[in-house]
Amino acid sequence: MSDDLQPLEPSEGVDMFLEHRQPSIRESSMQNARHRLSVFLEWCDEEGIDNLNDLTGRDLSLFVSWRQDDVAPITLQKQLSSVRMALRWWADIEAVSDGLAEKLHAPELPDGAESREVFLTADRAKQALRYFDRHHYASRDHALLALIWRTGMRRGAVRGLDVDDLDEDDHAIRVEHRPETDTPLKNGDDGTRWVYLGPRWFEILDDYVNNPDRKNVVDEHGRRPLFTTQRETRPSGHSIYKWVIRALHPCTYAECPHDRTPSECEARSTGSVPSKCPSARSPHAVRRGAITNHLNEETAPETVSERMDVSLGVLYEHYDARTEREKMAVRRQNIPD
């Protein structure tokens, strides 16, 4: 960190940048910038970056890696463009080093990237969950996949769950914004809510809590995390990302569709990178798939919006992966004969 830089928290830096931009851009562009930079702030929270002065080119590379498996390449390009613009402005006000923006590189777009949507299909979700139900019931991976598929929670929300958030009487779970104990929600207090699981799904989580293989942890704030690591800590967002990616590798629950063996696969071998599996699906892809499945099962969009903590506008633009024919099939149920 240069001695010439002035300390600035990421959230304050984003607020200042957006305030600077507001008079010169349309409201729709303002909303896009706010959303794209909120993703950057989520990453800063997960990585414990509380001062923009500390950002390096290597950090920005890690940010790109963290985000690129969650969204289509064209979406990543747009998000990085907004972050790059903010970095240039922060350099002008001496919050980051000059030239840092030019170290934020977006991967090249493959052919057809504009139309690519990455999400977990209902068939794959059910196949994976059947496998875990039969062979690794109430394991961490089973409970994690079941929870995200059933609720569409963001990984930040999953990370912040405690054992005490489970309510057996209503077969539900409490999602709460708790920034004072290091588990904030993306939408703050507006994201605090109860989410209904149902008896079958609740039982998986309850049995996971009582699984002898699960580490029973009390964190530094006296809270009992629902999901725990072998090192007896609350997991980071990146840990949850890796768990989901690996659990959803097709070769975990079926045959590899890419004609690879674990020893030669760059996603499974020693020193592997799990996200390099061509069929990899991230927590965000599971969330998108869960939202799409709810809509296909004729859950009202307003209900999905509240349940998954996403506005209707964002839901339709970024999460609804139904085909036009699937949308028609749902609408048909509400049309009189």
pLDDT tens for 37-92 read 999 999 999 888 999 999 999 999 999 988 886 776 777 888 898 999 999 999 99
pLDDT for res 83:
94
pLDDT of amino acid 114: 39
Task: Say how far apart CA 226 and CA 240 lie, in whole Å.
Answer: 12
Maximum mean pLDDT: which of 63-67, 140-144, 287-291:
140-144
**For position 189, which CATH number holds?**
1.10.443.10
Residue 304 lies in a domain: no
- pLDDT-derived band of residue 2, with 50, 70 and 90 as boundaries? low
Q: Are residues 28 and 75 in the same domain?
A: yes
Quote the Cα angle for 321-327-332, to 5°: 160
Q: Are residues 77 and 164 in the same domain?
A: no
228 in a structural domain: yes
Both 259 and 243 in one domain: the answer is yes
Q: What percent of the chain has pLDDT over 70?
A: 95
pLDDT digits over 218-261, tens only? 999 999 999 999 888 999 888 898 899 999 999 988 888 888 88
Give bridge partners of residue 183 from the DSSP assignment: 178
pLDDT for residue 117: 63
> What pLDDT score does 74 carry?
73
So what's the pLDDT on residue 265?
86
pLDDT of residue 112: 38
pLDDT value at residue 76: 83
Taking the C-alpha atoms of residue 202 and residue 183, their distance in angstroms, rounded to an integer, is 22
Tally of domains in the chain: 2
Order of all β-strands in the sheet with 172-175:
166-167, 172-175, 193-196
Could you tell me if residue 331 is inside a domain? no
Helices 140-151 and 199-209: angle between axes, nearest 10 degrees: 150
Last residue of a domain, one of 47, 82, 114: 114
Give mean pLDDT, residues 271-295: 86
Q: Are residues 110 and 160 in the same domain?
A: no
Segments forming the whole domain that contains residue 259? 122-283
Entry pTM? 0.68
Q: Which of the four pLDDT bands, split at 50, 70 and 90, describes residue 116?
A: very low
What is the CATH number for 48?
A: 1.10.150.130
Task: Provide the 10 A C-beta neighbour count for residue 119.
Answer: 22
Specify the long-range contacts of residues 13-20, CB closer than 8 Å, at least 24 apart: 13/52, 13/86, 13/90, 13/95, 14/38, 14/40, 14/41, 14/86, 16/93, 17/86, 17/89, 17/90, 20/89
Helices (H) and strands (E) in the chain, counts: 14, 3
The mean of the pLDDT values for the chain is 89
CB 117 within 8 A of CB 123: no
Q: Please give the structure tokens belonging to residue 71.
A: 């969204």
Q: Is 152 part of any domain?
A: yes
3-state SS assignment for residue 64? helix
